[in-house]
Amino acid sequence: MVGRFPLDHAGRLVPLLEAEADASERTRVRVANCTRLSQSLRYATLRLMLVSNPKGGYSFVKGIAPYSAGVVASADFEIERARMDKPIPIPEAFSRLDNHLAKLGRPSQALCGMELRSPSPFTFKGFSDFNASYVHYLEKRDILVNGLNPVARTNVAPEIAAPSEPVVYAFSYTIPAPAARRSFIVAGAGELPEGSLDPHDIVRQGEDSLDALTEKARFVIALMDGRLHGLGAAWDAVTAVDVYTVHNIAPFLASLILPRTGNARHGIVWHYTRPPITGIEYEMDVRGCARELVLTL
């Protein structure tokens, strides 16, 4: 059994046998070999499951019930991101989102990304309950594709000035754009393997030392890398990298985050927030959007 998820110089998971051979990576006893193999298979499967959403003008990588793992605009479309000048409670935000898309002549199915802010991290049970109510807003607008949720999502809990109820911070959608460059959104993810909502799968569960946080960051960057590849995108096309944590990332910002994400020139945005579930300490999302704007609503 091994606790680390070793990475190569590009930040990708090392093949299983090579990883097992590297005894220096065996720092903790955490998961069984069969679990690790299952996680590797999830990565391989993820890269193959790009699902077309013709009504929305994009394709998506299959995620779990409350969100997809990422989206990429179809040919002759591009993704536009709109951040609200102030966060709005989810019910009201969806109504305003409907009006915004209608003014652009876009259907509800054009919605491809949501960024939420919650009052505090959920328990795993609370997170599942919240997701059930959130997905209702998508179902009501006929956004699901053959029962799959196509909309990428990031949901985090601000440590300062937290909202009193879950709110929408920003949303993204597709618009027609002939000969547009490829645009995409990778959904937010913390230090959990793809497809898992099991607290026992958290990398270095219950730890927040510098060594543990560095390992968590490596793991999450590998998740971002896998999702980018699943979308047919690459780091050099990323226009924004967001980091969500209340822990100090300065010790590994220059040595890990900037080099691995290719954003030394553009920098990153560090949101002083907690990931959406108690026990997760580090989250990221990335995107390559053609245009971003701030809406006064």
Give me the chain's average pLDDT, please.
Answer: 86
Asked if residue 285 has pLDDT above 50, the reply is: yes
34 pLDDT band, cuts 50/70/90, is very low
* Residue 218 belongs to a domain: yes
Cα–Cα–Cα angle for 253, 254, 255, rounded to 5 degrees: 95
Between 39 and 193, the more confident residue is 193
* CATH assignment of the domain containing 157: 3.30.1330.40
231 within some domain? yes
Decide if 224 is inside a domain: yes
Helix (H, G, I), strand (E, B) or coil at 270: strand
Look at residue 6 and tell me if it is in a domain: no
Residue 195: the pLDDT is 87
pLDDT confidence bin for 45, thresholds 50/70/90: very low
pLDDT higher at 263 or 268: 268
As a whole-number percent, the residues of the chain with pLDDT over 90 amount to 77
Ranges 127-136, 241-250, 256-265: which has the least confidence:
256-265
State residue 297's pLDDT score.
67
Query: Structural domain tally of the chain?
Result: 1
How many whole angstroms separate alpha carbon 167 and alpha carbon 163? Answer: 7
pLDDT band for 281, please (50, 70, 90 cuts): very high
Q: Which domain holds residue 164?
A: 49-192+199-295
pLDDT score of 264: 66
E-strand stretches of the chain: 50-53, 58-61, 70-73, 77-89, 111-117, 152-158, 167-176, 184-189, 240-244, 269-271, 273-274, 283-288, 291-295
Query: Once rounded to an integer, what is the mean pLDDT over residues 115-144?
Result: 97
Please check whether residue 10 lies inside any domain of the structure.
Answer: no
- Is 34 inside a domain boundary? no
CA–CA dist 287, 279 (Å, integer): 25
Kindly state whether residue 206 falls inside one of the protein's structural domains.
Answer: yes
Question: Residue 7: pLDDT above 60?
Answer: no
Which pLDDT score is estimated for 19?
40
80-95: average pLDDT: 95
